[in-house]
Amino acid sequence: MLKYFYAMLVTRYKESLELDHKIFDLYEEGLGIVYIDRINKYNSEAIATVLSDRKAGSQMMVNKFITMGHKKIAYVGNIESERFMGYKKAFQENNFKLQDDFIYNTGWNDGYRVGTIAAKKIIKAEKRPTGVVCFNDQVAVGLVQCLQKNDIKVPAEISVSGFDNIEISEYFSPALTTVDIPKRTLARKAVELFVEMIKNKNTADQKRQFIYPVELKYRDSIRKIKQ
């Protein structure tokens, strides 16, 4: 056991089961740990976690596409994520069939380059989606830029959405429709738990999970299409 009580905040980094395992080992040694907007994939139930409702956010986004007339809706991102679970749930609830050709699994890689790679695949595909739900805003920006460079208009030909509502999403052209995460609320709660652990010198609060709602930000990157 550790001689003194220590605590650690874990924020979003590149997903790694190996790293999560090492962090869990520290937890078992008595280290106080709080995860912010991600879970420990080695043992998600043991450690205190403050989350945004990513599954609901993705589901909300797909439903937005559907209400705007889209039926060919692609997904670019990790298929093991809660965001993909939300994508699937929206399809199920609307009696839409998942199409493997429209699912671009990127693993835990994300960023502009991932969006560019996915866009190139979409451009070469025999059948193209009318809408693309991206894992995050960076993926969406990379995808849109590549489509535009290849003379495919967004949203006139393909609508695109992001996730996270990072600063560039509002000022990008076209402004990205995205999902806003309550970052300040998450940070405030995580610090509150963190301070409690240090003050009480125990990890009793770790076996709790807090999930906060997200908000859809409708902007210029998706459009209504004819049925």
**Unique residue bearing structure tokens 């990157």:** 221
Q: Which class for 30: exposed (0-12), middle (13-18), buried (19 or more C-beta within 10 A)?
A: middle
Banded model confidence at residue 22, pLDDT cuts 50, 70, 90: confident
Each residue's pLDDT tens digit, 24-80: 666 666 677 888 887 766 566 667 889 999 999 999 999 999 999 999 999 999 998
Task: Give the DSSP H or E segment for 153.
Answer: none
Instruction: Give the count of alpha carbons within 13 A of 12, CB side only.
Output: 14
Please report the pLDDT score of residue 35 as a whole number: 80
Find the helix packing angle between 82-93 and 54-67, rounded to 10°: 40
Each residue's pLDDT tens digit, 99-154: 999 999 998 778 899 999 999 999 999 999 999 999 999 999 999 999 999 999 99
DSSP of 1-49 = --SS--EEEE---S--HHHHHHHHHHHHTT-EEEEESS--SS-TTTSEE
- Amino acid, res. 16: S
How far is the C-alpha of 183 from the C-alpha of 222, rounded, in Å? 24
Residue 94, by phi and psi: left (phi above 0), alpha (psi -120 to 50) or beta? alpha
**Structural domain spans, the chain:** 7-53+181-214, 54-180
3-state DSSP helix/strand/coil % of the chain, to nearest 5: 40, 20, 40
Q: Which class for 74: exposed (0-12), middle (13-18), buried (19 or more C-beta within 10 A)?
A: buried
Q: Architecture of 54-180 per CATH?
A: 3-Layer(aba) Sandwich (3.40)
**Do residues 169 and 216 touch, judged by C-beta distance below 8 A?**
no
**Do residues 113 and 142 touch, judged by C-beta distance below 8 A?**
yes
* CATH pick for 7-53+181-214 out of 3.40.50.2300, 3.30.1360.40, 3.40.50.620, 3.90.25.10: 3.40.50.2300
Q: Which residues of 92-128 are buried (b: 16+ CB within 10 A; e: fewer)?
A: eeeebeeeeebebebeeebebebbbbbbeebeeeeeb
The pTM score is 0.87
